[in-house]
Amino acid sequence: MKWILATILLLVAGLALKLSLLVFAMYVLLGVLLLSRFFTRAWTENLEVSRFCGERVLEMGQAAEITVDVKNKGQVTVAWLLLEDSLPREALVQTPQRIKAEGARLALARLAPGESKSLHYKVTFLMRGYYQLGPLLVETGDVFGLHRRFRVMTDPHFVLVLPKVLPLEGYNLASRRPMGEIRVLHRLFEDPTRIAGIRPYQQGDSFRRIHWRATARTGVLHSRVFESSRVAGATFLLDFHLKSFQDAGAIPSAELAVTAVASLAHAVFLMGQQIGFISNGRDAADRIRAEGWRADFATRREARKQAAQSSKSDRLRPLVVETGRGLERFSEILETLGRLEHTDGLEFADLVWETAPRIRRDATVVAFLREVTPLTAAALGDLVRRGFLVSAIMVLFDEAAIPDWARPPEWAEMLLGQGVDFRLVNSEESITNLCAEAIVR
């Protein structure tokens, strides 16, 4: 546009000063500019792009083959096209690297009418996550470089990479209590089909409890005593607040925490027990549905602005997978962990207090923490006082186990002060040995 305005000004000046050579030159330049704008618009509008991707749900270490086909369906040859398929730059440059791309996702092409150009590359996923592959950015222009046009084409593909699930050692898979024997501290429910014994009648007992044979035999009212339901399974609480993951070991600690949750959930699922999941993190799929997908290119700022969306992370609504049994429930937890992102909204103590009414009392609460504050310890202690069985797992990547528990660290004292049992996880090996001692008990 600035070239056209400058040409018009020079044309007016030439006409006013009767400079015929300048006027002729400006007419030619103005014609070239208008033709270049027409052709570049026609070139981009006559392009047809299709994208092909393999599996949309993968495991860590697997790769996806991506093919993008660009076809000129117009009647005019496209002089040049610069094609670039977008990948999330943070995942490419982050240390450790989350994804690795191999092949040509950037190409320069000339397309005759009906001709096609294909981009083919492979993406290897090194870490779990929810990755956006695409969209395709098309750039073209006139041969003089006076006008360029950008167009973002094709919706992207989204690939979910599931977290790693480690086999847990230290228990027998045939055992009904893979995490250790359950110690029932409170008679939460009673099973009327399982009679534990009889006792003398107490005021307030229901008539349905009365054992009439014992009453007739002794002449004194007696009531049945039923066995209490066992506390089985676990509800996993994961702190994924951004401020808990800001130091040098933040990324490996976050991934270790996700792996620990997935591995324990898998172990409990194998035993047919109930599992649930609660976190203050953010679901990447929810973010994309709310904000739209984003394009991320290293250059061509104006084109990036058209597709980019600002990403907020102040989520105040917790992520909850209700506690239950079955493969479907475990798959839901695993997929949620794969899409989980950090947030700076709901802190862990607020998460516990807000979701406490939704936590089932017949399942152990297992909290995964990176740091412990007085509020965090108080929130878990409040669950203990309400009658929940609570354990905590501290995830501190590459931190040596503390041998002298006669002088425990501050976080351990805060948890012990609230009656919360805990374990320390500092590597994948420590996850596999996590059940050598009981967690649910």
Q: Encode pLDDT of 206-220 as tens digits.
A: 777 888 888 898 989
| SS3 call for 29 | helix
Query: Is CATH 3.40.1190.20 correct for 47-162?
Result: no
Q: Encode pLDDT of 36-90 as tens digits.
A: 777 777 777 888 999 998 889 999 999 999 999 999 998 888 888 889 998 888 8
Question: What residue ranges do the domains of the chain occupy?
Answer: 2-35, 47-162, 192-228, 234-280+315-436
- Of 424, 340, 293, 302, nearest to 128 by C-alpha is 340
Is the model's pLDDT at 198 over the cut of 70?
A: yes
What is the pLDDT, as a whole number, of residue 306? 44
d(CA 108, CA 138): 10
At 342, is the pLDDT very low, low, confident or very high (cuts 50, 70, 90)? very high
Helical packing angle, 250-270 and 327-339, nearest 10°: 180
d(CA 292, CA 137): 17
Burial degree of 159 (CB within 10 A; 0-12, 13-18, 19+): buried
What would the mean pLDDT of 374-386 be, rounded to a whole number? 94
- Bridge-based pairing state of the strands 129-133 and 106-111: unpaired
d(CA 40, CA 43): 5
Give the torsion sign (CA, 366, 369, 371, 374).
Answer: negative
What is the pLDDT, as a whole number, of residue 151? 82
Q: What is the rounded radius of gyration, in angstroms, for the C-alpha atoms of the chain?
A: 32
One-letter amino acid for residue 170 of the chain: G
Q: Decide whether 47-162 matches 234-280+315-436 in CATH topology.
A: no
Is the model's pLDDT at 29 over the cut of 90?
A: no
What is the pLDDT, as a whole number, of residue 272? 86
User: How many Cβ atoms sit within 10 Å of the Cβ of residue 135?
Assistant: 25
Return all residues near 420 (Cβ < 8 A) that are at least 6 apart.
367, 377, 380, 381, 384, 390, 391, 392
d(CA 342, CA 255): 11
What is the pLDDT, as a whole number, of residue 301? 56
d(CA 81, CA 181): 67
- Of 7, 40, 73, 50, nearest to 155 by C-alpha is 50
Residue with structure tokens 């270490």? 61
Q: Encode pLDDT of 146-164 as tens digits.
A: 667 788 888 889 999 999 9
Q: Classify domain 234-280+315-436 at the CATH superfamily level.
A: von Willebrand factor, type A domain (3.40.50.410)
pTM for the model stands at 0.77
DSSP for 176-236 reads S-TT------S---EEEEEEEEEEE--TT--GGGB-HHHHHHHSS-EEEEEEEPP--SEEE
